[in-house]
Structure 1
Amino acid sequence: MAQLSTRAGELSERLAQNVQAVCRHYLPAGRREGRYWMVGDVAGAPGRSLYVRLFETERGRIGNWVDAATGEHGDLVDLIRLNQRHGRLSETIDEAEKFLSLPPSAEVDSCQRANPPPARVGSPTAARRLFAASKPLHGTLAASYLAARGITRISELAALRFHPRCYYRPNEDDLPGTPGSFPALIAAVTDCDGVQTGTHRTWLDPSGSTKAAVTSPRRAMGNILGQAIRFGPAQDILIAGEGIETVLSLREAVPAIPMIAATSSAHLAAIQFPTTLRRLYVARDRDKAGDGAFAVLSDRAQAAGMELVSLIPELGDFNDDLRQHGASALSARVIVQLHEADRGRFIES
């Protein structure tokens, strides 16, 4: 058994050297997004719950993966074992050795040659520099984009900025001739102490009315796992949601409550709680990914002795509610879902 474990460790290192090839082979329905390979689950279903690290960072090694919906995690040997439904480690070792003996894929090889990873591209330092190079939100195309989605309370949003020509790396699903830059809404991703660890980008159409017509209009860089885009300092009460627009829509309705945007359902499930937090409201999207994130958060909140409360939209998400019914109707819907003590504390009479 010890020999098998040693061999598995050696294979894990070799598989990590070919991490993109492993992902393309065993998780072909996924796709690369920034420094991760994103897919629905360990079986390879489409989606974004499971992410595999493609680059070494301070937070983890190449090839390490986490499924935010289930809490499963491991290295690439574990991934192959679960993907292939092996009952014995020896089966997985045979499978990994077989994979590593295959000739390199021309598609993967050419992709890796075309995109050699510079040592610090996508690092927290690069993320902070992009945010610093961006401009305040007022009077920009990003403000116009938010206004088109019914979001007008853009004062005191220190976490959001605008970049007029933000670099965009097209992927294999983008149309030929896709531009290499677009205007972008830029958001600072910070930890519970307010230290910036990453940056989130939403590329915009030059009209300012919608997102850019690309396959991945939203991407993050830096260390974002467990961190969030923050609107107001949180102590004991906090509202958390997936997307920036969802959370800003709630801010139109109940602006006094501190809020965070986790950027995706997978990251929502993994958010770090402030140690002082006693009640967490979760703005849920009406989809399977939102249900999965809430289930994981429920387990984590219970273990931390913290109360978890759902905020449910009438339509698909709270931005849909805002655009369809307006801020006053949305406020009325949200207020009745708040704890009575929080209504008295945060809602003006």
Structure 2
Amino acid sequence: MRDDVPVVKQMLADRIDDLCRQLLPDGKRKGRLWTASNPVTRDHDHTPALTVALDRDIGAWKDYRSGDKGDILDLVTYCNRTDFKGAMAWARDWLGLRSMSSAERDALQQRADVRRAEQAKKTEKAQAFKAEWVRRIWDSASPDRALPAAMHAAAYLFGRDCPLDLVRHLDPETFRFHASLEWWPGAEWRRDENGRNRKMKDGPLLPAMVAAFRAPTGQLTAVHCTFLDPQRPAKAAVDKPKLMLGSVSAGMIRISSGAANTAPETDSAPGPVIVCEGIETGLSLAIAVPEARVWAAGSLGNMGNCPVDLACVGAVILARDADWASPQAMKQFDDVHARICAMGKPVTVMEPLAGGDFNDVIKGDDDGESDEERGAEG
């Protein structure tokens, strides 16, 4: 059969809700995402971590636990445990393409071309909106550590044994504090008669610590928000108290600047860089190893996007959490390790001897709580 891949992808996208119900029947719609357990890893005893985009980049999916991801046709391939050829055969049958005439398929091709162009415009608009949202959050937060919001965050971090004050070379452009940031998953939305989402009610306003993801050039690409309980120095009592927003894969959270104490994009002297998953792990490592730069990726998978090709990176130390013991996490870390090694810099792996991560070592406990379990999403 002729190359009908674009038509198949567009037709699958046009029926994305039906497709999700077919492939991920235990899932449900949450805003613009279909959220479900992973039918391949069978992680039904965990919080669902596989999400599929229902608008904008329709069909783009990622499992935040296993790290598996792809486009709409990859979703068919993955869920049916087949290859590209098998996925195309399944999709043609499911869509009824095999019974269509040549003229009907030509008409479908034309409609698919139009819809792809429309979707590209929507995606571009959505990306611009999200970038502006990230900027609004960052600009509305304050770097002033004498303000009540910052002092509240300081009390939280003190309880985690990783206060900012103990980081000798804390990056001055990374942390800000917000007195009342909207926890946006708590907002209520409804679709109007035109199918557009309308915000009916804001999410709760909570104090938050905001950390910047920055590109290798220093540009703000995303934010990581730790929402706190208004009354006590603890995470907020919400489903996901740690959230990420923006182009996370384009940046890193620069925790400390190492012995050079300069921005990575302006430093040409090579030195060690420690790359870890979470902010609190990163703070603990920055306190313990002040001579190294420390960057947090926000997620295990994003560690592989670390810009180790920068001149300031002489060697890379990957901080591996001890609780990455599942086959999925082990594979994901192996993929990260391979990607970093491919950049040609010396690479070392360090792992805590106790607890789940290096913050647990500092605290002397073993809660083993990953960013995923704390509620961060990317």
**Shared fold (TM-score, shorter chain, > 0.5):** yes
Q: CA deviation at 1:136?
A: 1.8
> Greater shift after overlay, 151-160 or 203-212?
151-160
> Greater shift after overlay, 27-36 or 276-285?
27-36
| 1:91-147 per-position Cα deviation (integer Å, ceiling 9, x unaligned) | 23223559xxxxxxxxxxxxxxxxxx9946861222022111101252421121111
Please tell me whether Structure 1 or Structure 2 has the larger radius of gyration of its CA atoms: 2
> Greater shift after overlay, 38-47 or 153-162?
38-47
Q: Alignment partner of 2:364: what SS?
A: helix
Structure 2 residue identity aligned to 1:293? Q
Q: Does 1:253 align with 2:292?
A: no
Q: CA deviation at 1:191?
A: 0.9
Report the counterpart of residue 372 of structure 2 in structure 1: none
* Contact map agreement 1:42 1:79 (CA 8 A) in 2: no
Q: Does 1:146 align with 2:151?
A: no
Q: Does 1:283 align with 2:319?
A: yes
**Distance verdict in 2 for CA 1:210–1:171, change over 3 Å:** same
1:164 to 173, 176, 179: 179
Q: Does 1:311 align with 2:335?
A: no
Q: Does 1:125 align with 2:132?
A: yes
Q: CA deviation at 1:80?
A: 1.2
Report the counterpart of residue 109 of structure 1 in structure 2: none
| 1:278-320 per-position Cα deviation (integer Å, ceiling 9, x unaligned) | 4211111122365333201221133222222112112111111
* Contact map agreement 1:69 1:293 (CA 8 A) in 2: no
Cα RMSD of the aligned pairs, angstroms, is: 3.6
Q: CA deviation at 1:162?
A: 0.9
Report the counterpart of residue 134 of structure 1 in structure 2: 141
Distance between the aligned counterparts of 1:279 and 1:240, measured in 2? 11
Q: Across the two proteins, how many residue pairs are aligned to each other?
A: 296
| 1:259-281 per-position Cα deviation (integer Å, ceiling 9, x unaligned) | 11111112223434333334211
> Greater shift after overlay, 197-206 or 26-35?
26-35
* Contact map agreement 1:282 1:294 (CA 8 A) in 2: no
Q: Report percent identity of matched pairs.
A: 29
Q: Alignment partner of 2:139: what SS?
A: helix
Alignment gaps of 5+ in structure 1: 99-116, 326-349
2:236 to 212, 237, 246: 212
**Distance verdict in 2 for CA 1:271–1:16, change over 3 Å:** farther
Q: How does the TM-score come out when normalised to structure 1?
A: 0.71
**Distance verdict in 2 for CA 1:142–1:97, change over 3 Å:** farther
**Distance verdict in 2 for CA 1:218–1:38, change over 3 Å:** farther
Report the counterpart of residue 112 of structure 1 in structure 2: none
**Distance verdict in 2 for CA 1:78–1:201, change over 3 Å:** same
* Contact map agreement 2:306 2:340 (CA 8 A) in 1: no
Q: CA deviation at 1:63?
A: 2.4
| 1:199-251 per-position Cα deviation (integer Å, ceiling 9, x unaligned) | 11111111342111111111111111142111224444211111111101111
